[in-house]
Structures are given as C-alpha cells and as structure tokens.
Amino acid sequence: AQTVTQSQPEMSVQEAETVTLSCTYDTSESDYYLFWYKQPPSRQMILVIRQEAYKQQNATENRFSVNFQKAAKSFSLKISDSQLGDAAMYFCAYRTKSGNTPLVFGKGTRLSVIA
Amino acid sequence: GAGVSQSPRYKVAKRGQDVALRCDPISGHVSLFWYQQALGQGPEFLTYFQNEAQLDKSGLPSDRFFAERPEGSVSTLKIQRTQQEDSAVYLCASSLTGLTGANVLTFGAGSRLTVL
C-alpha cells in the first residue's frame, strides 16, 4: 500500500522568508501524481501544486515550487517570500496513475508565519 | 454550483443518534469522494462514486457508515448509532471525470461532527 510521510508536524517562518516542507512517500508504481494541498482554518482544502512523476522538471506555481526527487521518493514544497496568508496546514498527497485509487494524504504540517 | 457545498457545517450528536451529512458537488462532476479527517490528522478515504455507482467503499470503517448518490449528483453520508470515535470532519470532494488522469479534486469545507 502506498504511504505518505510528513515528518514535520509544525514549522514556522518569518514573513518574506523562504520555508521548505518535507514529504516522502512509498510506492512500487513508476507513474503517479503528487500534490500539495493547503487547508486554512476554514477547512477548505485548496490545491497548491501538483507534479506528474514522469516529468523531470519540478513544478512551480508563483511563490510555490517543489523539489521532486523520484529515486529518493521525496517531494518537498518550497514557499518563497512567505506571506501571513500562507499560514495553514499543508498536506502532501499521492495518487497512482492507473487503476481506481483515491488520494492518499500525509498527516500534515502546520505552518505558522511570523510577522 | 460554483463549488462543493456541504451541510451541515457543524453537527453535535448524542451517542447512539443517527446523522446524515450532505454533499452537493460541482454541477457536471462525475466523481465524488468522501474523506474522514480526525483532529490533527490528514484526510482518510471513505468511499468513491462515479455518477450514481459506488465503485469503492473500502474505507468505510464499519457497517454503521453508509453513503449514497442516487441520481449521480447530491450525495449523503449516513452514520447510524454514532460513537465518540466518529467525531471528525467529513470532507466531500468532486472531480470532473474519473480517477484516471490528473483530475484535480475540489473539496468542500467539510462537516464537523462531534459525538457526545
């Protein structure tokens, strides 16, 4: 079974600084998708960024970028120029590309942004 | 609608009471998922519908949990004889097509169930 591990329960960052959230996963599949979701106190899960495993290039979305290391099964999220609105729970998630399997989530990292 | 709508937003139930949680997905979305999120944890998969067909219910924790989507749009998650361990946020998500492909899930704001 696939598992997703987020080893940092909590992280904090100064406003305007950069922070990296870690995620590792375990799978025997060769092609799959990886995602980072943000969950603010309102509880609505918001997709931050996604990566397709067969793509070598790391995905970027404005201030958010990933460092995808397929051999190491690592998928970290870098947030640049952190803003107060970035404070939230961040979840790493995995899904296989084939078959009917749902998203598998990690336990999350709570990010605090200090003004 | 514009987003995934869930109701009620908050529900307090006495132990043993039955509850029903509603999810109204984005219009036209084929796939619908239910997740359970315990306090301080990540969401755990419960069940998946493609249109009105329940294709996967492997995550339902017991036979007290039942989900339906009779007309392929609105879905209801029912929990019978609630127990304290059922206390959690129940998230609903929908996507335009099936599980193949990088279909992005759009989540609702969840229903927080507290069982006393």
| Tokens 């996967």, residue located | B56
Cα separation, B99 vs A46, in Å, equals 18
User: Is the model's pLDDT at B99 over the cut of 80?
Assistant: no
**Which chain A residues are Cβ-neighbours of B41 within 8 angstroms?**
107-108
Say which of A43, A44, A100 has its CB closest to residue B99: A100
**Which chain B residues are Cβ-neighbours of A6 within 8 angstroms?**
42
Compute φ and ψ for A84, nearest 5 degrees.
Answer: -55, -35
Say which of A47, A50, A107 has its CB closest to residue B42: A107
Compute φ and ψ for A77, nearest 5 degrees.
Answer: -110, 125
User: A45-80: per-residue pLDDT in tens?
Assistant: 999 999 999 888 999 999 999 999 999 999 999 999
Which residue of chain B has the CA closest to A94? B102
Query: Is the CB of B98 less than 8 angstroms away from the CB of A101?
Result: no
Cα separation, B11 vs B78, in Å, equals 13
Query: Is the CB of A91 less than 8 angstroms away from the CB of B44?
Result: no
Furthest C-alpha separation in chain A: 45
| B38 contacts chain A (CB < 8 A) | no
User: B40-60: per-residue pLDDT in tens?
Assistant: 899 999 999 999 999 999 999
User: Is the model's pLDDT at B1 over the cut of 80?
Assistant: no
* Closest by CA position to B36, among listed B2, B70, B62: B62
| B116 contacts chain A (CB < 8 A) | no
User: Is the model's pLDDT at A31 over the cut of 70?
Assistant: yes
Question: Which run of H or of E encompasses B54?
Answer: strand B53-56
Sorted by sequence, the CB contacts under 8 Å of residue A57 that are 6+ apart come out as none
pLDDT tier for residue B102 given thresholds of 50, 70 and 90 = low
Compute φ and ψ for A102, nearest 5 degrees.
Answer: -85, 175
Query: In this structure, what DSSP letter does residue A42 have?
Result: T
